[in-house]
A and B are shown apart, each in its own frame.
Chain A
Amino acid sequence: MELAVQTRGLGKRYGRTWAVQDCALELPAGRIAALVGPNGAGKTTLLHLLVGLLRPDAGEVRVFGRDPRDVLADIGFVAQDTPLYRDFTAAELVTMGARLNRRRWDAPLARDRLARLGIPPDKPVGKLSGGQRAQVALALALAKRPRLLLLDEPIASLDPLARREFMQTLMGAVAESETTVLLSSHLLADLERACDHLVVLQQSRVQLTGGVDELLDTHCSLVGPRAGSGSIAGVAEVVRASHTERQSTLLVRRGDGPIDPLWTEHGVTLEDVVLAYLAEAGARVPASAWEVPA
């Protein structure tokens, strides 16, 4: 299995604060991966490390087995808010891309895509709608024919229709290439049908990562009598627990063997799993900080 992205002990520090810490990731080639986590979790920093815009302060990062700076021609990157030279037209940006990417640049592909989307070639991109600008940025990134495409919050600022159109273009493009995709978002719902791999980042650490099907197979929800702190047969880890007086509801990672029949098993959605990990890792302030009773 070829790895598009591999990191070990990866860390990046701003002053005394670690923005990304002890990050171990493996993203197999050909996957479409979602990088999810709340704002400020370190998603942008991680993407910048992968594309070589930042140098790690700890650990190492490999893209197709090499230093990202040695494989820049293979990486497409669309930064947050799709920054483009706003006074340039889409047609001029395609021409400029050819000058900047001499090794590989598929200008006909970019023009074809933009034409099919009905984007005016002769209007400064600063005057286009947000959705159209995002499409121009995507078309430019795809014109590079990248083996790895990194997208930082590509749809966060778009309206629902433009979001859908963006994801449609992206999925169509991925289907006809072998591009590995990693796209970040603070909303999982938008990506759930598009992604087959997941990286959950919170408070600068990777809380959960793996293939979506594996994650759904290895997690389930259990309902049963109020649980003590003892271990449960067939359960490797209790990710999240909530209790009433008599009953406990647990989201667990399966271990070996069947689960104790005392518990009723329920399937979980990807969102259930992600929220359980995020909630468990989230920092809470005690109610006393607000001077109200808990």
Chain B
Amino acid sequence: MIEFVLDGRSRVATYMQLVVQVKQALRVGLLRPGDQLPKVREVAQALAINPNTVLKAYRELVLEGLAEGRPGVGTFVTGSLAGPSLANQAELRDELVAWLGRAEAAGMSDDDIAALIETTMRGARAPQDLA
């Protein structure tokens, strides 16, 4: 089961934030086909949002073929977005956690870390893009 969070400062529509979080969970294997999504009432209550917004998000997931509603039971994941890389992700994640520990020990803030990762990704990719 996943827990939704909302970014209060984001201009992205609330229902879309929910859709994106489900997709991210599918991508990293946190959600798999057969898993149940949180009940509409639970999400509405936890986030203090309109229940219709949650319904709209779930309808969108159904339309994209990623979930299905089972009347009286709930909404279940049917599709997957996890690529073949999923098997390697656990190991990569462990290495990243260790690296984050070193970065923190070196006195880097969250913003420093995010900036370093972003610029490194841009820098490492740029030559390949040109090739």
Binding site for B on A (CB under 8 A): 32, 164, 167-172, 174-176, 193-196, 269
C-beta contact mask, B48-60 vs A, less than 8 Å → 1, else 0?
1111111000000
In the bound complex, what is the Cα–Cα distance between A168 and B41 (angstroms)? 10
C-beta contact mask, B37-65 vs A, less than 8 Å → 1, else 0?
00011101111111111100000000000
Query: Which residue from A167, A172, A194, A196 sits with its C-beta under 8 Å from B41?
Result: A172
Query: Which residue from B11, B40, B50 sits with its C-beta under 8 Å from A194?
Result: B50
- Nearest to B46 among chain A residues (CB) is A168
Most chain A CB neighbours (cut-off 10 Å) among B11, B47, B51: B51
- Nearest to A165 among chain B residues (CB) is B48
Interface size class of B (residues with CB under 8 A): 10 to 19
B45, A193: Cβ atoms under 8 Å?
Answer: no
CB neighbours (8 Å) of B14 from chain A are 193
In the bound complex, what is the Cα–Cα distance between A176 and B43 (angstroms)? 12
A164, B48: Cβ atoms under 8 Å?
Answer: yes
In the bound complex, what is the Cα–Cα distance between A57 and B48 (angstroms)? 37
For the complex, is B103 an interface residue (Cβ under 8 Å from A)? no
- Nearest to A174 among chain B residues (CB) is B51
Chain A-chain B contacts (Cβ-Cβ < 8 Å), number: 46
Minimum distance in angstroms from B39 CB to a CB of chain A: 8
A171, B11: Cβ atoms under 8 Å?
Answer: no
Minimum distance in angstroms from B124 CB to a CB of chain A: 34
For the complex, is B113 an interface residue (Cβ under 8 Å from A)? no
Known contacts A193-B6, A193-B14, A269-B11: does B45 contact A175 (CB below 8 Å)?
A: yes
Query: Which residue from A172, A195, A269 sits with its C-beta under 8 Å from B45?
Result: A172
Query: Which residue from B11, B40, B45, B50 sits with its C-beta under 8 Å from A196?
Result: B50
CB neighbours (8 Å) of A174 from chain B are 44, 50-51
Query: Which residue from B6, B11, B41 sits with its C-beta under 8 Å from A176?
Result: B41
In the bound complex, what is the Cα–Cα distance between A149 and B92 (angstroms)? 52
- Nearest to B45 among chain A residues (CB) is A172
B11, A172: Cβ atoms under 8 Å?
Answer: no
Known contacts A193-B47, A194-B48: does B41 contact A175 (CB below 8 Å)?
A: yes
Most chain B CB neighbours (cut-off 10 Å) among A170, A171, A193, A195: A171
Most chain B CB neighbours (cut-off 10 Å) among A194, A195, A269: A194
Minimum distance in angstroms from B26 CB to a CB of chain A: 24
24 A-B residue pairs with Cβ-Cβ distance under 8 Å, sorted by A, are A32-B50, A164-B48, A168-B45, A168-B46, A168-B48, A169-B45, A170-B48, A171-B44, A172-B41, A172-B42, A172-B45, A174-B51, A175-B40, A176-B41, A193-B6, A193-B14, A193-B47, A193-B48, A193-B53, A194-B48, A194-B49, A194-B50, A196-B52, A269-B11
CB neighbours (8 Å) of A269 from chain B are 11
B50, A193: Cβ atoms under 8 Å?
Answer: yes
Most chain B CB neighbours (cut-off 10 Å) among A32, A167, A168, A193: A193
Minimum distance in angstroms from A208 CB to a CB of chain B: 19
Known contacts A193-B14, A269-B11: does B51 contact A175 (CB below 8 Å)?
A: yes
Known contacts A193-B6, A193-B14: does B50 contact A172 (CB below 8 Å)?
A: no
In the bound complex, what is the Cα–Cα distance between A74 and B46 (angstroms)? 27
CB neighbours (8 Å) of B44 from chain A are 171-172, 174-175
Minimum distance in angstroms from A30 CB to a CB of chain B: 8
Minimum distance in angstroms from B49 CB to a CB of chain A: 4
CB neighbours (8 Å) of A164 from chain B are 48
In the bound complex, what is the Cα–Cα distance between A174 and B48 (angstroms)? 11
A171, B6: Cβ atoms under 8 Å?
Answer: no
Minimum distance in angstroms from A171 CB to a CB of chain B: 4
C-beta contact mask, B1-38 vs A, less than 8 Å → 1, else 0?
00000100001001000000000000000000000000
Minimum distance in angstroms from B13 CB to a CB of chain A: 9
